[in-house]
Amino acid sequence: MIILGIESSCDDTAAAIVADGKVLSNCIAGQEIHRLYGGVVPEVASRAHQVHIVPVVNEALKQAGVLRSEIGAVAFTRGPGLIGSLIVGVSFAKGLAMSLDIPLIEVHHLQAHVMAHFAGERQPPFPFLCLIVSGGHTQIMLVRSPFDMEIIGQTIDDAAGEAFDKTGKLLGLDYPAGPVIDRLAKEGKPVFDFPEPHISGLDFSFSGLKTSILYFLRKEIERDPAFIQNRLPDICASVQTRIVSILMNKLKKAVQQTGIRHVALAGGVSANSGLREALLNTASKLGWEAYIPKFEYCTDNAAMIAIAGYYKYLDGDFCDHSVTPVARWAM
């Protein structure tokens, strides 16, 4: 069974081919233009999806060595995401499914981030916990099966990736700032202490951190106008250390509460070297099994959509052609 996966929920246009659950290709067209604006501009994103979608699908078919006529089903991201971006992927998927007379499979973007763990060799056993951390999401999922997932903790304000990106803006770094902060943090020491928010249960909050960084920088710049230039690596190391500790503390709590020791990471922020190291260290100290997929399966990609689609295909879970994209979609 050959499945074409399509992802267009934010600023990346992606297409992938999965054959019997194995990834044959995973193609992506990013949108550099948003760097100019310091964040994703929805109108610009949807127009760029229109430009990219056909070439990306053709490239995915070419790299997989698959003919269009061999596609057995089309899986697409229905939501959550930017509505103008989603419309492009959903409409394309519908048109292709109609012309080839094949089933159409709607996929929840967060379910797909979790299912990305089934694209590689090392797959977590059920049940497992999955921390999804990206520019748009920060959730701890309790995953009982490919179809039974529960959000047991989530951010009440900003996502972890946003915390990195908004800090970068304060520091005058390029967007997205996560990778830049990660790189600079390696040259510095976490000597500045930013407060950890006190949020009950397994939920996260990052907006207070952003405010405390802002006030801290204002105060220090009053004393030394070149404070940011002089101490950039130390500031980055301190911010990263705090973001990682916020994530890890809730993850430890989730393991304690559920008794589940198989812990997986997903989303763009899972590229962060501080977070990877913290998860691997904690895992070896506390006897957890950690699962960190290849980076191309961490960020937004279409292989995860095609893999989630494959499991839904096996379950006979198809949708009809009246399906519409949804900006917000509960699990």
Q: Which two tokens stand for residue 84?
A: 């103008």
The token pair that represents 37 in the structure block? 């604006």
Report yes or no: 128 and 261 within 8 Å, Cβ to Cβ: no
Applying the rule CB under 5 A, the residues between 236 and 275 that interact with Zn ion are: none
- Specify the residue, 154 or 282, whose C-beta has the smaller distance to Zn ion: 154
- List the structure tokens of 170: 């304060």
272 near ligand KG4 (CB under 6 A): yes
Contacts of 155 (CB under 8 A, 6+ apart): 137, 138, 139, 203, 204, 205, 206
Other beta carbons within 10 angstroms of residue 33's beta carbon come to: 14
Say whether residue 161 binds ligand KG4 (CB under 6 A).
yes
Could you give the CA distance from residue 29 to residue 46 in angstroms, rounded to a whole number?
A: 13
Distance in Å, CB of 299 to Zn ion, minimum: 7
In the complex with ligand KG4, the residue whose CB is nearer, 166 or 312, is: 166
CA of residue 159 relative to chain centroid, distance: 10
Amino acid, single-letter form, for residue 250: K
The correct pick among 79, 89, 153, 267 for binding ligand KG4 (CB under 6 A) is 267
Does residue 300 interact with Zn ion by CB under 5 A? yes
Q: Which does 75 bind (CB under 5 to 8 A by kind): ligand KG4, Zn ion, none?
A: none
Nearest CB to ligand KG4, comparing residues 142 and 243: 243
The reply to whether 300 sits near ligand KG4 by the rule CB under 6 A is yes
Identify which range of 24-32, 53-61, 129-137, 218-226 contacts ligand KG4 by CB under 6 A.
129-137
Closest distance to ligand KG4 from the beta carbon of 295 (Å): 8
Q: Output the CA angle 200-158-168, nearest 5 degrees.
A: 130
Determine if 269 is a binding residue for ligand KG4 (CB under 6 A).
Answer: yes
**Which of Zn ion, ligand KG4, none interacts with 182 (beta carbon under 5 to 8 A by kind)?**
ligand KG4
Say if residues 324 and 15 touch (Cβ distance below 8 Å): no
Q: Does 158 bind ligand KG4 (CB under 6 A)?
A: no
Q: Which residues bind Zn ion (CB under 5 A)?
A: 134, 300
